[in-house]
Amino acid sequence: MIDLRRLRSEPEFVLAALGRRGIDLAPVEQVLELDRQQREAARRRDEVRNQVRTISADVGRLFKEGRKDEAGALQAQSRALGEQEKALDAEAEALSERIRTALLVIPNLPHADAPDGASEADNPELRKVNFDPDGYGPHQRVPHWEIGKELGILDLERGAKLSGSMFVMYRGGGAALVRALIQLGLDRNADAFEEIRPPTLVRTETMISTGHLPKFADDAYHVERDDLWAIPTAEVPLTSLARDEVLDEADLPSRFMAYTPCYRREAGSAGRDTRGLLRVHEFDKVEILAYATAAQAPALLVEMVGRAEATIAGLGLAYRVIEICTGDMGQSHHRSFDIEVYAPGVDQWLEVSSISWFSDYQARRANIRYRPTGEDGAPGKGTEILHTLNGSALAVPRVWAAVVETHRRPDGQIAVPEMLRPYLGGRELLSAGPSR
RNA sequence: GGAGCGAUGGCAGAGCGGACGAAUGCAGCCGCCUUGAAAGCGGCCGGGCCGAAAGGCCCCGGGGGUUCGAAUCCCCCUCGCUCCGCCA
């Protein structure tokens, strides 16, 4: 969530920044007013509490000295003050709760350099790589679901039979290709990121930390009986790794990666991109994440985009990098880039990675801090909220689709990109038949 | 799933109704001593909120209750450990 103190001290700045997102600012102004009321109530409560404490100490002393009558009188007085304190506390608490609820749905401030814009249409394209619209032959203009069926590596009918539409099943070489892509995604980042295998069912607090709850509850699978949520991305458990912890500045940046299945109800996108692998309820993804100081974050963001990009390029795919404008940013984002891969069979640009800097927005929700290092190398004073960044290193289904479509040969077989061969036992081709 | 025990500062660990935000030890930091280091000695050493400051308030796993007063008593929850059961 945004910094309430900053909202209080620089309201014009915060309102202007949020205004760039094109959202309704009334709730933000309301928080400002509630905050004024809350502090006043808390101040009055604290005064009364102080009196109660002082009197109670006196009561104890008087009892010890055997002055029971005087003590009894003070007890009565303190009891009355206690009633008052209770009422003031309830008032302050109610206000805090309203503020917290409102704050949870107010989005992050966009970075000053994030481009202005109202929607997806205003996202500037930063670069387009490897793309020649006329360079694709008719053999590549076949959608992956047809290729998958022809080669027996993708079985959409049976996926739907088991779990319903938008659940998919890979088989044979297709399943091996999934595993190969996961392994590739991990290996390419293992030089700098510690691998984590987190739980994929998490508690409500864990979903709140990243901003996936309360606002987007309809998009997530919820296991009612145990009150657990199926993670929509490894970002969720990775961000909460350090929840309620205080790290040392010397340990930053701290980097983690995880392969996990990801679960999404896609409630808001019914009927869109429903064919094949374009949008599915369960998919595999390798995620990379960093905890950092504010100063370290910009360079990390560039590095993480570069990592995701290099993997896509290494697979011989055409792609473009776009920056997300203020009107299209996710709630928690401070600055964000997408990588879209071109899939010739469906003739579409598919989002395969979104790399974002969250400033301290998530870390404030998750209460992740660090102890700054002083100039002399000794631990500095106090603690600061750190910054989080994360992005997909490799999202399997769409990359799978682009690989299969891009590398389909005129004879219908798939030429395995060189980078992937070690992960497929050295195989150079995926074909139909027993060796598939 | 059943039974029992536990949760206190970076760690270990006292406290079990009234100067307790919390003894003590270890770790850390700063001085003294030393050619340097160790040892020794002295000092410092949790976090959050409000406030210009002085200062005030909150936090002993979480929530509720009893009391003039709760780390301490009661209730609920969560987590951990041990034993039994079950199990890939």
Tens digit of pLDDT for each residue in A405-425? 999 999 999 999 999 999 999
pTM, entire model: 0.90
In the structure, how far is the CA atom of residue A227 from the C1' atom of nucleotide B76, in angstroms?
Answer: 18
Q: How far apart are CA A191 and CA A186, in angstroms?
A: 10
Across the range A14-27, mean pLDDT stands at 95
Q: Which two tokens stand for residue A130?
A: 């490897």
Number of alpha helices (DSSP H) and beta strands (DSSP E) in chain A: 12, 16
Q: Where are the domains of chain A?
A: 4-103, 120-430
Fold of A4-103: Helix Hairpins (1.10.287)
The answer to whether A367 CB is within 7 Å of strand B is no
- The residues of A annotated as belonging to the active site are 264, 279, 351, 354, 398
Nucleic strand B within 7 A of Cβ A36: no
Question: For the domain A120-430, what is the CATH code?
Answer: 3.30.930.10
Nearest Cα neighbor of A347 from A138, A167, A175 is A138
Instruction: Quote the CA–CA distance of A342 and A401 in Å, as a whole number.
Output: 10
User: Tell me, in Å, how far CA of A3 is from C1' of B47?
Assistant: 18
Confidence of residue A373 (pLDDT cuts 50, 70, 90): confident
> Does the pLDDT of residue A353 top 60, yes or no?
yes
**Which pLDDT score is estimated for A433?**
67
Residue A135's pLDDT band (cuts 50, 70, 90): very high
Per-residue confidence (pLDDT) for residue A367, from 0 to 100? 83
- Of the candidates A281, A242, A262, the residue with the CA atom closest to the CA atom of residue A201: A262
Phi, psi of A275 (to 5 degrees): -80, 145
